[in-house]
A and B are shown apart, each in its own frame.
Chain A
Amino acid sequence: MEAALTIIVVEQDRDRAMMIVDALRDAGQHRIAIIGSGSGLARRVAETRPDLVLIDAGDPSRDELEELTLAAGPLERPVAMFVDRSDQGLTRAAIEAGVSAYVVDGLRSERLRPILDAAIARFHMFARMRTELAATKAALEERKVIDRAKGILMCAKGIGEEEAYALMRKTAMDQGKRLGELAQALVTAAELLR
């Protein structure tokens, strides 16, 4: 039985962090800590003396972790980006999933594999959720703007809802614009003229 590893998950969003931790628990008995990105990240990570740090590849705080690649003291082990190491397949999978791993000097690849596999699967799921959420949110927002624009037209021209909608659709088509774009322009103009 090998000693448990200390893993840090850098993630500001509590729910996301817990989902990563759950996935990692299935990958073995390890000590897992969650650290929010922001204020003094490098110092807080270094204090925990982790074997492995997992962070969203697109997290702007990643540059703070770069300081950890330089050992500050003689007893400290520097970390390296996982991409700096040999396992090409795993590296590519991690990059595609959008997860970055910082690994302490000397940690063997086979000990990392199950942990990284679990993290990669979870980040793929996040990516799908994010796409779905963004699409739903954009659709909802657009619906709201179109409704407001419709209201403005009905009020200004004294026409009914269907007529207002038809007018907007026709104008959008004539100008080669999306309905949402046209509605936004109308709402912005109405706010300026108010």
Chain B
Amino acid sequence: MTPLALGYVPLLDAAPLVVAREMGFAEEEGLSLTLTRAASWSQLRDMLDSGAVAAAHMLSAMPVARALGLGGGTGATEVLMVLSLGGQVIGLSGDLGRRIGAGFGDPVALGAALGRSPLRLGVPFPFSMHALLLRYWLSRAAPGLAPQIVVVPPPRMAAALKAGEIDGFCVGEPWGSAAVAEAGAQIVLTGSHIWSQSPEKVLAARKGWGEAAGPLLRALWRAGRWADAAENSATLAEILARAEYLDTSALHIEPALQGRVADQLVPDLIHFHDGTANFPWRSQAGWIGAELAEAHGLNPGAAIATARACFRSDLYRRHLAGLAPMPRSSDKAEGALEASESLPAVSGSLRLSRNRFFDGAVFDPAPAA
């Protein structure tokens, strides 16, 4: 057995790492996994930079931000695979929700209802899909609103809402539901209402380490398939709830795993495997690069090129050949698929899931020649 240390932040979407360890997928690949919990993304990044862990469950925007010179951290970080799509939950304070008569699941109507009143929204990290989705949605659905997006550690989200420091939030489960229970928040949207296929967490490693990541990638791919299967959600919730992982009740975890949030069924709430969920598409990286560039005043063309190089679809192809279906191109037109469809893969066929932005836009950057 080869010992291997991985870092994670205790969230529902750390599931592939936990399942790889607990259900024997890592062992099958000859890996003895040690999972080290971090209290913040900053701490997780330290662990990766210092070599305390070889790879980590990370916000998809963090490696890209690093490559663009935004925020802290030392060496270059690469994305070896996507661990989860979606899973973000957007909520407002109960007062605000009632005042504007907020419904559920309609980004356009909600943007109009928010109008131009000042709005402070909490997110877990400045460079996160949470922050990017909020910006994308509000700049289009509520132009002129100029929301203030502030970082609030997820465990403090409910308290911050209660204290009136923020008017709403975008956060991963189980923290959104916790804000409902503890602070009377109203869940109004999920990330998948804004973008049905947003890459949320990735497996990140220091540049160079990915060359030898085959066993880990195979274990995590199988773990993701197990975690995504509906019949496993009760078992998965029990495992994640353990004191050494999320340290909560399985009852707080299982609804989201079944696609339920705020008593609503959201089919694309979160995926660990569905379709080609784990493939690190260069076009996903490009979207993140473009959005970060817009938010931080960088040159978009250069940012997209830098971002694309962070998502190592080449290594994914090499390590998972013969196991995962491989698309013929490492790019897809993000937002262009109204319904899921099958298409020819490198060998056989694969299924691409519905991929839509709420405003119908398509992101299809021409790769730099």
List residues of A whose CB falls within 8 A of some B CB: 38-40, 42, 57-67, 69-70, 80-81, 83-84, 91-92, 95, 100
Task: Give me 22 A-to-B residue pairs in the complex whose CB atoms sit less than 8 angstroms apart, sorted by A's number.
Answer: A39-B160, A39-B165, A40-B165, A42-B151, A60-B39, A60-B40, A60-B155, A60-B156, A61-B153, A61-B156, A62-B39, A63-B40, A63-B124, A63-B153, A66-B126, A66-B127, A67-B151, A81-B42, A81-B46, A84-B74, A95-B46, A95-B50
Q: How far is the CA of A4 from the CA of B296 in the complex (A)?
A: 33
Q: Which residues of A contact B150 (CB under 8 A)?
A: 40, 42, 64, 67
Question: Which residues of B sit under 8 angstroms from A66, Cβ to Cβ?
Answer: 41-42, 71-72, 125-127, 151
**B34-64 vs A, Cβ < 8 Å mask (1 yes, 0 no):** 0000011111001001101000000000000
CB distance from B200 to the nearest CB of A (A): 16
Q: How many A-B residue pairs have CB under 8 A?
A: 80
- Give the chain B neighbours of A63 by CB distance below 8 A: 40-42, 124-125, 151, 153
Q: Which residues of the other chain, A, contact B160 by a CB distance below 8 angstroms?
A: 39
A-B contacts besides A62-B43, A66-B41, A66-B71, 12 pairs, CB < 8 Å: A58-B39, A63-B41, A63-B151, A64-B151, A66-B127, A69-B71, A81-B73, A83-B46, A83-B74, A84-B72, A84-B74, A95-B52
Q: What CA separation (Å) do A83 and B296 show in the bound complex?
A: 23
A80 to B42, CA, bound (A): 12
CB contacts under 8 Å to A, within B70-84, are 70-74
Do A57 and B72 touch across chains, with their CB atoms under 8 A apart? Answer: no
A153 to B52, CA, bound (A): 47
Chain B interface extent, by class:
20 to 34
Q: Which residue of B lies closest to A41 (CB)?
A: B151
For the complex, is B1 an interface residue (Cβ under 8 Å from A)?
Answer: no
Question: Which of B73, B125, B156, B159 touches A84 (beta carbons < 8 Å)?
Answer: B73
Q: Which 5 A-B pairs have the closest CB atoms?
A: A81-B72, A60-B153, A62-B42, A62-B40, A63-B40
The answer, among A38, A67, A91, for a CB contact under 8 Å with B126, is A67
| A63 to B159 alpha-carbon distance, docked (Å) | 17
Tell me, rounded to whole Å, the shortest Cβ–Cβ distance linking A45 to chain B.
12
Q: Which residues of B contact A (CB under 8 A)?
A: 39-43, 46, 49-50, 52, 70-74, 124-127, 150-153, 155-156, 159-160, 163, 165, 296
A83 and B49 form a contact (CB under 8 A): yes
A191-B160 Cα distance, complex, nearest whole Å: 36
Bound together, the chains give a CA A57 to CA B39 distance in angstroms of 9
Across the interface, B50 reaches (CB within 8 A) one of A40, A61, A92, namely A92
Complex Cα gap A83–B49 (Å): 9
Q: How far is the CA of A69 from the CA of B41 in the complex (A)?
A: 14
Nearest residue, chain B, Cβ from A61: B153
Q: Indicate the member of B50, B153, B163 with the most A CB atoms within 10 Å.
A: B153
- Docked pose: A58 CA to B42 CA in angstroms: 9
Q: Across the two chains, which residue of chain B brings its CB closest to A80?
A: B72
Please report the C-alpha to C-alpha distance between residue A17 and residue B138 in the assembled complex, in whole angstroms. Answer: 40
Q: Which residues of A contact B155 (CB under 8 A)?
A: 60
Chain B residues contacting A83 (CB-CB under 8 Å) are 46, 49-50, 72-74
In the assembled complex, which residues on chain B have CB atoms less than 8 Å from the CB atom of A95?
46, 50, 52
Give CA–CA (A92, B43) in the complex, Å.
Answer: 14
Pick from A59, A67, A69, A80: contact of B39, CB under 8 Å: A59
Contact: A69 with B46, CB < 8 Å?
Answer: no
Q: Measured between C-beta atoms, what is the minimum distance from A59 to chain B in Å?
A: 7
User: Which residues from A are CB-within-8-Å of B152?
Assistant: 64
Chain A residues whose C-beta falls within 8 Å of the C-beta of B163 in the assembled complex = 39
A56 to chain B, nearest CB (A): 9
Rounded to whole Å, the gap between the CB of B263 and the closest CB of chain A is 29
Specify which of B41, B124, B125, B152 lies most central, judged by the most chain A CB atoms within 10 Å of its CB.
B152
Contact status of A100 and B156, CB under 8 A, knowing A69-B72, A81-B72? no
CA distance A95 to B159 in the complex (A): 29
- Check A70 against B153 for contact (C-beta < 8 Å): no
Closest to B38 in A: A58
CB distance from B173 to the nearest CB of A (A): 17
